[in-house]
Structure 1
Amino acid sequence: MDILMTGGRIKLICQIAMAFLFIFSAPCLAEQDYIDITNPSLRRIPIAIPLFRIMPQGQVNTQVSRNAPDLCAENLEFTGYFKILDRGAFLENPRESDITGSTTNFRNWTGIGAELLITGGIWINDGTLTMELRLFDTFKSQILLGKKYTAGKDKLKKVMRTFCNEVIYYLTGRQGIFDSDIAFVSTSSGNKEIYLCDFDGQNSRAFTHHKTITLFPAWSSDGKWIAYTSYARGKPDIFIKHLQEKRGFVIQNKGINITPAWVPGQFKLAATLSYEGDQDIYLLTGRGEKIKKLTNQWGIDTSPAWSPDGAKMAFVSNRSGTPQIYIKHINSGRVERLTFQGQYNTQPAWSPRGDKVSYSAREKSGEFNICVVGFDGRGPVRLTYKARDNESPSWSPDGSMIVFSSTREGPSRIYVMTAYGTDQRRLLTLPGQQTNPKWGNMDN
């Protein structure tokens, strides 16, 4: 079966002039849901990813042909959707056969338990990397997805992440997370600074260099801006910085300026200010100009978190005597209390689907755990247990995972888990402590 189809070509131009060429593809959505990410008892799908074939059109060393499927396997395994099968058990070697599937004996793959198969061909000419990649349903002996990519030879990781995003989109109907970044606070330099890393914890790098206390990173919905609080000018002010361009703004009202949260799809943000006395939440422009006051109640209101449509805002208030999470309906102004269990519930984060809010809850033992509650109050469900302090939950862009900080191994580190609390694992280890993670949207 040859999947080189006629059709439109889509060119994706990266910031460093890299281009991908998609010249063949299957339909965007599967005929059936292969993976239902809303199912809390999701079964991992066995998938075979053999070494890719070195194509005769050019030359490429065997290490590159091994690295590419390894990167593919690592990306897909990270999601928790797949069981990567051991290549030592394979009965067939697509590296020595037709990668299009025309000569593939799919019984050789179903016989070892593989339900999905990825094959690939790779070659390099004059510094240009070209890859043909295909996803098969082995039981149906059917191709599900085919893509061809052309890029600089140093962009292997980017190519594989792009293909893995396509695989996830086909199998789930939702975009993958492989182009997303995570911001967090780290004391690696001796001070609390904002750091960034890739979705899987790789490529960690410092974003701020204030050499003081820096907290509360928040991504704009287009992924181009980060707002955060820093004591760089002697008191807590909000800094708004563009990720690529050397420009930004500072919100430095009298008193504290903390916990920024961008309005979805707009260059506006909510933040906690105290220049009028009490800590209240205000709506601000992206430059820091005040638009209006969003809360006006005795006590402390802080930690705003927007619903995906921007119509509601979760926040923390002690108006009932202890810190609890409330929801404000922006158009009507109505405020409802969301959490009732426990005496200390903070750090709300709204799921991308808009149906749940995750938060940190202090137990009677004094330890903190991550909980999730329906925005209508149904629940809550605790996701972490007997693992010391677990705080600052933040959802992945597709809503399938939650990143959080935990002291379960001693110093605070960054961890991830599924949206249902399964498959909890450490994301990265750096000197010092890491806290307050925020999962950003896809790269733009």
Structure 2
Amino acid sequence: MRKILLGLILLLAAAALAQEPPGFEGDFLVITKTPQRFPVAVPNFLVNSTSADDQAVGQRLTELLRQNFQSSGVLQILDPKSYLTPLSSGPEDFSAWTLIGAEALVRGYLTRTPEGRVQIELKLYDLAKQEMVLGKRFTGSEAALRQMVHRFSDDVLEWLTGRRGSFETQIALVSDQSGRKEIQVIDSDGGNPRPVTNNHTLNLAPEWWPNSSRLLYTSYKAKNPDLYVLDTFEGKEWRISNRPGLNVGAAFQPDGKRIALVLTPREGNSDIFLINPDGSGLTQVTSSWAIDVAPAWSPDGKFLAFVSDRGGTPQIYMLDLSRGAESENNRPVRLTWEGDYNSSPAWSPDGQRIAFAGRRGGRFDLMVIELGKGPGGSVRALTETPFNEEDPAWSPDSRSLAFASDRYGNYDIFSISVYGGTARRLTEWPSNETAPAWSSSLKR
């Protein structure tokens, strides 16, 4: 969780509330109308081996495919118990699949090469046309299999819906697993966790560089909350802002040309500034007596959403940067009017919504501003649970949100489709995981 830094600002709040018994699922409301879901059949992988280990690998890959498709919110995985056709490597009996209502079929094949590597072949069939429309073959180590399946899952969503999925992406987060707040990275489904900082100090607010393996984050390792860039592949890092006071809440402009961040040039006051990726070109964009924090860019880079208490309580505002910095002729527009604490705005990549955490009745729920619906947009609740749901972060396809919740006692990272359904728990660690940041789609 992002907490009070030097007593000046509160980036994200957490309330210690009475909790229901662990295992409560809660009510997740639909943000947007659910599209017609494509009914898809995903039978077990056909494994060209009698090895129990290879059979187990095939089963894990089958489950991963099903989980990916089900979590997308746009595909309906038909119950495997309803499958009529036996497992076979021969010609497909398309009528057996259409009889159970399937419109698409995904087949997976696994073979072990003489060198001990794994080869998987994945095929998507259009059952109306009775033909294969997508096929991929991958060869690699077992450690690379998850990425292969994620990539094919993205391909399938792109073919079926016209919009690529977000499975082959990563989520950065803050974890206190080591006893200190360090940055870790997980795959979009929670797999393959790995620490990327290990400096035994306080590390906060990770943010991905657009279309890159680099992260922005704030660290106290130099005894001041400074802003750093970390290349998560090469392990190299460098400091880009060490101005006196806070250097926090950094957010990249979608084209990667500018960074918005929070600085405290005046004691007891925080404002939002812009800098270049190398730390130069400092420009102030908000200027008030109030605390202004948590900047979030619109996809076109023309607007900034942010949190300010200039109206008495923390609320979400929006500034039109195409008209320059805040001035008498360019005042920020207030977007939220209900709730005593609204924080952590996150602009969807498709530009249609701003998600945020809103405190209602002493706890935080995920809220969404539907833009373009009346002055400033309309506000709707996404979650209504007896727990805290905070730190929303959009997937690059705008179909899902990652967030932090304390529904099991400690904070974990979850994801949920914007079309509703059950939240998917991504971390099941005894520590606290907060502040998720979802990467752009990885380059292919």
Q: How many Å separate the matches in 2 of 1:392 and 1:309?
A: 22
Aligned twin of 2:367: 371
1:422 counterpart = 2:421: yes
- Offset, 1:305: 0.3
Q: SS where residue 162 of structure 1 aligns?
A: helix
Please point out which of 97, 118, 133 is paired with 1:145: 133
1:436 counterpart = 2:435: yes
Q: How does 1:25-424 map to 2 (within 5 A)?
A: 40-42=33-35, 44-53=37-46, 61-93=54-86, 95-98=88-91, 104-127=92-115, 129-138=118-127, 140-143=128-131, 145-154=133-142, 155-245=144-234, 246-277=236-267, 278-333=269-324, 334=330, 335-363=332-360, 365-376=361-372, 377-424=376-423
Q: How many Å separate the matches in 2 of 1:343 and 1:108?
A: 56
- Offset, 1:183: 0.9
| Alignment CA distance shift 1:41-1:158 (3 Å) | closer
Q: SS where residue 331 of structure 1 aligns?
A: helix
Q: How many Å separate the matches in 2 of 1:291 and 1:177?
A: 33
Q: How many Å separate the matches in 2 of 1:61 and 1:424?
A: 31
Aligned twin of 2:7: none
The CA deviation string for residues 335-387 of structure 1, in whole angstroms up to 9 with x for no partner, is 21111222321110000111210111111x21111100023422200011133
- Offset, 1:89: 3.3
The CA deviation string for residues 142-188 of structure 1, in whole angstroms up to 9 with x for no partner, is 33622232422433322222211110101121111111101111111
Unaligned runs of 5+ in 1: 1-36, 99-103
**Conserved 8 A contact 2:73-2:420:** no
Unaligned runs of 5+ in 2: 1-29, 325-329
After alignment, is 278-287 or 70-79 more displaced? 70-79
The CA deviation string for residues 304-357 of structure 1, in whole angstroms up to 9 with x for no partner, is 000111111111111222211111111113321111222321110000111210
Q: How many Å separate the matches in 1 of 2:277 and 2:171?
A: 21
The CA deviation string for residues 105-163 of structure 1, in whole angstroms up to 9 with x for no partner, is 3221122232321124443444355444322233x143362223242243332222221
The CA deviation string for residues 172-230 of structure 1, in whole angstroms up to 9 with x for no partner, is 21111111101111111111111110000111111111212211111111232211112
Partner letter of residue 438 of structure 2? W
The CA deviation string for residues 226-280 of structure 1, in whole angstroms up to 9 with x for no partner, is 1111222223222221222313224211111110101112243110001244311
Q: How many Å separate the matches in 1 of 2:36 and 2:364?
A: 29
Q: How many Å separate the matches in 1 of 2:102 and 2:135?
A: 21
- Offset, 1:65: 4.4
| Alignment CA distance shift 1:77-1:295 (3 Å) | same
- Number of aligned positions between the proteins: 398
**Conserved 8 A contact 1:242-1:248:** no
- Offset, 1:43: 5.0
**Conserved 8 A contact 2:228-2:241:** yes
TM-score, normalised via structure 2 length: 0.83
| Alignment CA distance shift 1:68-1:318 (3 Å) | closer
**Conserved 8 A contact 1:187-1:431:** no
Q: How many Å separate the matches in 1 of 2:408 and 2:120?
A: 41
| Alignment CA distance shift 1:422-1:255 (3 Å) | same
Q: Percent identity?
A: 34
Task: Give RMSD over aligned pairs.
Answer: 2.4
TM-score, normalised via structure 1 length: 0.83
The CA deviation string for residues 8-55 of structure 1, in whole angstroms up to 9 with x for no partner, is xxxxxxxxxxxxxxxxxxxxxxxxxxxxx9952345443212234457
**Conserved 8 A contact 2:121-2:138:** no
Q: How many Å separate the matches in 2 of 1:61 and 1:345?
A: 50
| Alignment CA distance shift 1:422-1:256 (3 Å) | same
Q: SS where residue 346 of structure 2 aligns?
A: strand
Partner letter of residue 401 of structure 1? S
Q: How many Å separate the matches in 2 of 1:317 and 1:299?
A: 7
Q: How many Å separate the matches in 1 of 2:132 and 2:323?
A: 47
After alignment, is 186-195 or 71-80 more displaced? 71-80
Q: How many Å separate the matches in 1 of 2:388 and 2:55?
A: 45
Q: SS where residue 163 of structure 2 aligns?
A: coil
Q: How many Å separate the matches in 2 of 1:196 and 1:149?
A: 27
**Conserved 8 A contact 1:94-1:119:** no
Q: SS where residue 296 of structure 1 aligns?
A: coil
Q: How many Å separate the matches in 2 of 1:425 and 1:226?
A: 24
